[in-house]
Amino acid sequence: MVELRDIEKNYTNFDLKINLKINNGEIFGLIGQSGSGKSTILRIVQGLLKADKGEINIAKNTETAYIFQEFNLLYNKNVFDNVALPLILKKKFSAEKVEEVLKFVGLSERKDSFIASLSGGERQRVAIARALVTNPQLLLCDEVTASLDKSVKDEILDLFEEINKKYGTTILVVTHELEVVKRLCSRVAVIEKGKITDIFNVNQKDYEKSNKSYADYVREVLK
């Protein structure tokens, strides 16, 4: 689905050099500390940044969508209009499609609400719905759960899993959070100082999905 071959990007104090292959239908994690080069890789895959060397191959006509940490929502528009935007830009507006993805992310009831009145988790759901509305085969996610608390994070991660299962969407997840990779990804690449130092299958078996209430979680950590 996505192949980065001998990709290089050189900044004054930073050199990226990687090879990476992401298979059709997998949820692939890219994990690394701040400054390791994750966003640079994602931007190269998005086509927002040109590599100095190497080749990037993405299957022809792959519909791609992005979800960012900051959500990039339009605050002067309501939920419905935010989600409809990519379809309007592509001149493919369909109210039914917007309704369908809003239902999928559990926001049908909030479709007339303005973004400012939503919680962080709800905003993230709007961003996910907006990404899904064009039926992407490839979803690129940059630190999408970093600002969310544990229970909302679990909900959003469930949603990504559902997207992958229901639509077969290939998902590339960039994160510095180990638990996100553990919970969601089948494979992960570890990136350090611009190089991939390891790639392996994630052992998801012993991840315990939390059914605890928020109060239980707080007690468990703090007491």
Ligand X SMILES: Nc1ncnc2c1ncn2[C@@H]1O[C@H](COP(=O)(O)OP(=O)(O)OP(=O)(O)O)[C@@H](O)[C@H]1O
Residues 4-33 that bind ligand X (CB under 6 A): 11, 14, 32
Residues in the chain: 223
Q: What is the identity of the amino acid at 192?
A: E
CA 13 to chain centre: 28
| 207 near ligand X, rule: CB under 6 A | no
The answer to whether 38 and 196 are in contact (CB under 8 A) is no
Stretch that binds ligand X, among 19-27, 35-43, 53-61, 150-158 (CB under 6 A): 35-43
69 binds ligand X (CB under 6 A): no
Indicate the DSSP class of residue 213: -
User: Is 36 among the residues that bind ligand X (CB under 6 A)?
Assistant: yes
* 137 contacts ligand X (rule: CB under 6 A): no
Cα 78 from Cα 182, distance rounded (Å): 34
Asked if 145 is part of the footprint of ligand X (rule: CB under 6 A), the reply reads: no
Q: Using the rule CB under 6 A, which residue among 17, 22, 28, 37 binds ligand X?
A: 37
Ramachandran region, residue 194 (left: φ > 0; alpha: ψ -120 to 50; beta: rest): left
Answer yes or no: are the C-beta atoms of 175 and 143 closer than 8 Å.
Answer: yes
Binding mask 86-125 for ligand X (x = CB under 6 A): ----------------------------------------
* Closer Cβ to ligand X, 32 or 86, answer by number: 32
Return the DSSP state at 112. Answer: T
Q: Which residues bind ligand X (CB under 6 A)?
A: 11, 14, 32, 34-40, 176
